[in-house]
């Protein structure tokens, strides 16, 4: 049995923090604190770079996947030797009129480990400004297979199951969950980890942005559905260790992934 493990942190930011310099300065503070706790992977919320409830301003703040903010985050990942998983509004390089709600993980060598475009868009702001993604993203790092979803995606059990059947050990989910959706963070999302036997990492905002209040309650869940670290409703850094052995044990104990193939 392998002893592979990764120490993961979620950095929950106040949604009112201004895009640009203020968010990057805040991120560097979180990386400094995370480094002191030997964190290897830091996970940030949905649309971290631009902010979530920004309306038409998202078009101004959108960048290509290798744009200026990606270069800044790459430099920070190398400086602190921590992989950084963050949400951003992506401008398609081939068609600059097309935007995606995207996430990207940049490793401590400064290279992109994984990139994902949100596949399911809720009505309103997102459906107005973004195009749906279409691909499944699963990348291997430090002995783990790591899947990527974004917010609303994870509320569909089919997408988490698709990643788990493909071999995911950890699923990372940046989100922008409003304060009225407490049940989603408290019950539904930990269940996603349990029903697939994977670690589930949910990174939300706290505070208020342009009159929209966010829940906070970011968490890191275990493969048996236990919440091993949970944030409150303010800015917070939470840390937990993912162990590959626990994934294998959970999936052997409850063979959902094998049995679902006959349905």
Active-site residues, by number, are 46, 118, 151
HEC readout, 151-197? HHHHHCHHHHHHHHHCCCCEEEEECCCECCCHHHHHHHHHHHHHHHC
- Closest CA relative to residue 146, chosen from 174, 171, 165, 166: 171
Q: Which of 250, 200, 245 is nearest to 224 (CA)?
A: 250
DSSP letter (8 states) at residue 250: H
Please check whether residue 204 is in contact with residue 215, taking contact to mean a CB–CB distance below 8 angstroms: yes
Is residue 212 classed exposed, middle or buried when 0-12, 13-18 and 19+ CB atoms within 10 A define those classes? middle
Sign of the torsion angle spanned by Cα atoms 12, 16, 20, 21: negative
CA distance 230 to 240: 10
Burial status of residue 109 (CB atoms within 10 A of its CB: 0-12, 13-18, 19 or more) = exposed
């Amino acid at each position: 049995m392998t002893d592979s493990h990764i120490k993961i942190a979620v950095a929950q930011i106040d949604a009112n923090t201004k895009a640009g310099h203020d968010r990057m300065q805040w991120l560097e503070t979180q990386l400094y604190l995370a480094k002191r706790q030997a964190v290897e992977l830091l996970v940030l919320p949905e649309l971290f770079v631009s902010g979530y409830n920004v309306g038409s301003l998202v078009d101004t703040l959108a960048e290509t996947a290798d744009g200026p903010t990606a270069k800044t985050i790459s430099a920070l990942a190398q400086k602190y030797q921590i992989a950084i998983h963050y949400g951003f509004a992506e401008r398609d390089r081939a068609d600059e009129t097309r935007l995606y709600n995207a996430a990207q993980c940049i490793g401590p060598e400064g290279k992109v480990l994984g990139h994902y475009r949100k596949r399911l868009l809720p009505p309103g702001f997102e459906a107005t400004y973004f195009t749906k993604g279409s691909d499944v993203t699963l990348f291997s790092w430090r002995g783990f297979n790591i899947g990527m979803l974004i917010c609303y995606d994870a509320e569909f059990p089919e997408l988490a199951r698709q990643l788990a059947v493909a071999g995911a050990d950890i699923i990372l989910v940046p989100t922008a969950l409003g304060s009225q959706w407490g049940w989603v963070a408290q019950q539904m999302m930990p269940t996603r980890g349990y029903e697939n036997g994977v670690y589930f990492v949910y990174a939300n905002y706290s505070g208020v942005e342009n009159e929209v209040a966010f829940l906070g309650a970011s968490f890191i869940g275990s493969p048996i559905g236990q919440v091993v670290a949970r944030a409150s409703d303010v800015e917070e850094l939470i840390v937990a260790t993912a162990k590959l052995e626990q994934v294998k044990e959970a999936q052997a104990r409850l063979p959902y992934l094998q049995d679902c193939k006959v349905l």
